[in-house]
Amino acid sequence: MQAYLYSLLLVLITLQTAFAEEQNIQTDIQPKEDLSPGQPNNINNSVREEGIKHDLKYNGCNGFIRGGYIQAHTKTVSNQQAYGLGGELGCGVSWGPYFQLHASAFTAINPGFNSANKDEIQGDFFDENKNSYITLGEAVMTLSYADLQAHLGPQRFNSPHMDQDDLRLLPNIFEAYLLDYHLNDEIYLGSGFIRTAKGWENNGNAADFIDIGEAFGGTGAQSWIAWGKYQQGYINASAWYYYIKDVQQIFFVDVTYQNSFNDYIFYDLGVQFDMGRSVGAQSIGEVGANTLGIYATISSYGMSFTTAYNKNFGQSAAVNSVGGGPFFTSMEQMTMDAVNAKNAQALLFNLEYQPYFIESMNIGVAAGDFQGGNAADFHTQEFNTYLSYQYNQMITVDIMYAYIKDLQADLVTDQLRVILGFQF
């Protein structure tokens, strides 16, 4: 497998070099909506916390086509793999500056040459029965007046504890009714109501909307959200509040600082705090978590090194999410809320390279250690290596290999994910 992977990477890098040379000749390409998959979920990715960002195409149609392969193997326990095709076709219309409408359809296709034994099919690409499906994607209406906007209907949405987590064939979608307001160039406010979620991480059938409370592992279809963001100079800060009826309430805040020592050496620093408490019927059990996090990145000449640390205090495990979650130490498989133990901690190291001769390409490795308050209760280590590339917002390549070792059960799992995409 390693020889095959290295050969594939060599071929891709050769092709990407040719693409990059061609790109230098093309200077008049018009920008378009970016529907490419999300970045590898290894290090803190601020894009996943940007909130409302609807750069949809409201005059005409666009979409994407993706092909993917995923394999998850646990020695002596299971071996699952799957090939899949997916895509989105969306069209939009607008009437003046005040009203816009965008609707799209999603499809995920089991191409027919996966195993006839469904127990051997990795199910992240398909519906709950591991079959093909076609479903509503977005159907969002945008109403605008001055600096005020309303986004109503099923839509992509990125926030710390609810995000599209676009790491498979299709992203998560939320039925949401949101209002956001740009107070000025530095301050951005918003609030709204989220009822249901659909996607590969909705804790149910990826093909259908399920209640937002159920997506979090409990019950109920009522969730309120409010947020504020501040950006000025080198500082970015955000605060988020979620009230998920009969499940939990969550408060999250983070602050990041970006600067440079000189023209060649740059650095990022970040801190975060995440708090969760049970509410109402407590349909997922007691939630009483306080999680702190810090990270630091230093980069120069396309090379960057990141280290991050999260520590949870309280009466429960860290707060869960629908999507990748907000924690600085999140990896391909392991996240802080996956540590089913109190007083958990996680440590991550990440090394990434962006070749100057191939624009929009990232190659990286990451290692993480996840422990409960007592290592005998929970102790898992993960190693990731990945490549992501985007050519002219048209062709995307995402390759991720994850090696996960459960030190308690002495089990090793490895996963390979390859997603190729074409946006039109």
Backbone angles phi and psi of 268, in degrees to 5? -125, 145
Higher pLDDT, 47 or 368: 368
Residue 404 has pLDDT above 60, yes or no: yes
Question: What does the alpha-carbon distance between residue 394 and residue 26 come to, in Å, rounded to a whole number?
Answer: 14
Residue 45 has pLDDT above 80, yes or no: no
Residue 50 has pLDDT above 80, yes or no: no
DSSP string, 346-410: EEEEEEEE--TTSTTEEEEEEEEEEE-SSTTT-EEEEEEEEEEEEETTTEEEEEEEEEEEETTTT
Higher pLDDT, 275 or 40: 275
Give Cα 98 to chain centroid, integer Å: 30
Instruction: Give residue 13's pLDDT.
Output: 36
Instruction: Give residue 32's pLDDT.
Output: 52
Residue 73 has pLDDT above 70, yes or no: yes
Instruction: Give residue 53's pLDDT.
Output: 52
Would strands 411-423 and 99-109 be described as parallel, antiparallel, or unpaired? unpaired
- Six token digits for residue 247: 């499940």
Question: What does the alpha-carbon distance between residue 299 and residue 233 come to, in Å, rounded to a whole number?
Answer: 19
Which amino acid belongs to residue 343? N
Backbone angles phi and psi of 105, in degrees to 5? -120, 140
List pLDDT tens digits, range 123-150. 999 999 999 999 999 999 999 999 999 9
Question: What does the alpha-carbon distance between residue 191 and residue 241 come to, in Å, rounded to a whole number?
Answer: 9
List pLDDT tens digits, range 307-341. 999 999 988 999 999 998 999 999 999 999 999 88
CA angle 329, 373, 75 (to 5 degrees): 65
Question: What does the alpha-carbon distance between residue 25 and residue 296 come to, in Å, rounded to a whole number?
Answer: 37
Higher pLDDT, 51 or 56: 56
Question: What does the alpha-carbon distance between residue 349 and residue 152 come to, in Å, rounded to a whole number?
Answer: 40
Residue 367 has pLDDT above 60, yes or no: yes
Residue 3 has pLDDT above 90, yes or no: no
Residue 184 has pLDDT above 50, yes or no: yes
Residue 64 has pLDDT above 80, yes or no: yes
Instruction: Give residue 157's pLDDT.
Output: 87
Question: What does the alpha-carbon distance between residue 364 and residue 354 come to, in Å, rounded to a whole number?
Answer: 9
Instruction: Give residue 393's pLDDT.
Output: 81
Residue 352 has pLDDT above 80, yes or no: yes
pTM score, whole prediction = 0.87
pLDDT averaged over the chain?
Answer: 87
Q: What is the mean pLDDT of residues 411-415?
A: 95
Q: What is the mean pLDDT of residues 194-202?
A: 95
Question: What does the alpha-carbon distance between residue 39 and residue 354 come to, in Å, rounded to a whole number?
Answer: 13
Higher pLDDT, 357 or 195: 195
Residue 357 has pLDDT above 90, yes or no: no
Q: Are 392 and 18 in contact (CB under 8 A)?
A: no
Burial string for 396-422 (b: 16+ CB within 10 Å, else e) reads bbbbbbbbbeeeeeeeebbbbbbbbbe
List pLDDT tens digits, range 287-302. 999 999 999 999 999 9
Q: What is the mean pLDDT of residues 85-91?
A: 95
Residue 221 has pLDDT above 80, yes or no: yes
- Six token digits for residue 392: 């002219």
**Residue 134 CB partners (closer than 8 Å, separation 6+):** 105, 106, 107
Instruction: Give residue 51's pLDDT.
Output: 52
Q: Which strand (E) or helix (H) includes residue 213?
A: helix 212-215
Q: How confident is the model at residue 370 (pLDDT cuts 50, 70, 90)?
A: very high
Instruction: Give residue 37's pLDDT.
Output: 52
